[in-house]
Structure 1
Amino acid sequence: MTNILSYLTLINVINVHFYFVHGFRKSELDSSYNGLSYPFQYFTRDEWEADPPTNVRPLTKPVPYVVIHHTYIPSACNTTEKCFRAMRSMQNYHNSLGWGDIGYNYCVGSMGDVFEGRGWNNVGVHAGRANNFSIGICLIGDWRVATPPEPMLETTKKLISVGVENGSISPVYKLVGHKQTMTTECPGSALANIISTWDHYTKEILKF
């Protein structure tokens, strides 16, 4: 019994050491949240220090559409802290527009990490009338000319797959760029060209 307690104490000491010395957060040690497992680094609203939302409406699921965005501003982020700042910057800006929270359901950084926005269960503010029928995923950065990093693209595909698996996104969903829902350059020409080769992409212009 003494040996078992000593072993457990040692494990706890090691975990504490890694947390404080190496700066790992919960999501870097265990890529799961709310009972869902993620095949990528996942950061919650609490971790990027989001303000509480003031506009929350339940999303009817599964949604038939996934809408892809880019930020344009803020620019691409390639460290966790830079992405945290980008998330807070977006939330502050979107709140100033009266949206009551960051507009996107999820955002993806250049390293392939996912940052929780409104999540799977809440209606976003990102694509006009398509909001009620879609999950909005934003790839942080300006992707008009530059090509998004491969980890970012692969994680975006995996995130969509998770949404299908957990019942948030229809298995027969249609994938579109933001500019197919309203007049905008988003998600940028380079990114739009890439997603046009992905499964489920449609050239359809969404009108509701």
Structure 2
Amino acid sequence: MLGGACQNDHKTFEEYYDLGGGVKIYSRKSWEARAPKQFQSFQKPASFFFIHHTDGSLCYEFHSCVTTLKEIQHFHMDTRGWDDIGYSFLVGQDGNIYEGRGWDHVGAHTLHYNTSGYAASFMGNFMTHPPNDASLTAVKKLIDYGISQGYIAATYKLYGHRDVGNTACPGDALYPIIQTWPHYTHTKPENSLLKLT
């Protein structure tokens, strides 16, 4: 269900898709994302779904999350030289999802797996404390929605970023939580499934 309302002095348009239960997917337009330099179309459905954390600031409401999103996008595009913000989706402690590259474009989030998987990144650092229940629920709803719409294969495998890379991401406090979720697996994809990106 599409929704939206004009709010605040900056005339930000809160354009979103309502997943129900108070969870929204806010569009790129809603957070005034920069246009990508270029993009590659994602060939659906995804076989994998990756969980990350941004290792940056927490945000607890729409406007602070917008500020954080813009900072991440500027860092990815201007410092790292990427074509766009790297993640498919980002999630705030407000319990909402924010569109990064979205369902249609290949991300830059998980080396060697970008063309075969999506990634949701929790905004913040979750080494010492977990994300709140609202944000955890939001990501579960996002995955369920992705399956229902054919974006994610029903047989998908769920991973933390550290499962396929030399990193602490998605954080010591978040990682054990996602290991209890459906489809989580410790087994890395076979090399034959890798598509270098």
TM-score band by shorter chain is 0.7 to 0.9
Distance 1:79 1:173, change over 3 A: same
- Residue number in structure 2 paired with 1:93: 75
Higher Cα radius of gyration: 1
In 1, distance between residues paired with 2:173 and 2:6?
A: 38
- Opposite residue 205 of structure 1, the aligned amino acid is K
Distance 1:59 1:19, change over 3 A: closer
In 2, distance between residues paired with 1:21 and 1:146?
A: 32
Structure 1 counterpart of 2:65, from 57, 75, 83: 83
Native 8 Å contact 2:12 2:30 kept in 1: no
1:38 aligns with 2:19: yes
**Going by fraction, where is strand more abundant, 1 or 2?**
2
Gaps of 5+ in 2: none
1:108 aligns with 2:91: yes
Gaps of 5+ in 1: 1-17
Relative to the length of structure 1, the TM-score reads: 0.82
**Paired residue total:** 183
Structure 1 counterpart of 2:166, from 144, 166, 183: 183
In 2, distance between residues paired with 1:124 and 1:153?
A: 21
Relative to the length of structure 2, the TM-score reads: 0.87
Structure 2 counterpart of 1:146, from 106, 122, 129: 129
**Going by fraction, where is helix more abundant, 1 or 2?**
1
RMSD: 1.9
Query: What is the 5 A alignment of 1:194-205?
Result: 194-205=177-188
Residues 86-140 of structure 1 deviation map (CA, whole Å, 9 limit, x = unaligned): 1101111111212110000000100111111001011000000011110010011
Native 8 Å contact 2:7 2:13 kept in 1: no
Identity fraction in percent? 34
Native 8 Å contact 1:55 1:99 kept in 2: no
In 1, distance between residues paired with 2:63 and 2:7?
A: 16
Distance 1:62 1:21, change over 3 A: closer
